[in-house]
Amino acid sequence: MVKITVPSGRTAWENKDFLNCDDVVLTDEDVRYALRHMRRVSWGAYDPENTDTTGCEGEAIVTFKNGKILAMGIEPNGRISTGEFYAGMKPTASPPNFYECDPCRKRKMALLKDALYRADERRLKKLVAEGQLSASEAELRLKRTRDERDKP
């Protein structure tokens, strides 16, 4: 059983110039997809200080038939953290685990291109307003960014 506890949340790493977390909503389908495709990584490979993070995270509780419970934090870029619990949310002896899910990132980020475009526009408009960039240069950068993001 999957229960979404926080469909759209922010972490300390949120950067609205990259992605507004209000545009990221975790669904049951996303959680089930992640469970099928996620692969365990070390803390070093997961650490937000060393890797890209969106600063957005949905949270879910998954209850398995054997009574074990998995609390998951899932970012739209496929970064996943988990904690294991027994029935009644009593923690197991297992430490938190960290996962990457490249298929999740590709799937979810494809759905969020419009949100990323809006973030690009906000960032470039801010630079134009601050006089750090001309309007024509901002337009060229926006086109270049969109073209790069749209590459297969």
> What's the pLDDT tens digit per position in 124-136?
888 999 999 899 9
**Where does the pLDDT of residue 72 fall: very low under 50, low under 70, confident under 90, or very high at 90 and above?**
very high
Q: What whole-number percentage of the chain has pLDDT above 70?
A: 98
Better pLDDT: 74 or 114 = 74
> 64: which residues sit within 8 A by CB, 6+ positions away?
70
Position 53 scores a pLDDT of 79
pLDDT for 16 beyond 80: no
| Domain-wise residue ranges, the chain | 2-111, 113-152
pTM over 0.85: no
pLDDT for 23 beyond 90: no
CB neighbourhood size of 39 (10 A): 11
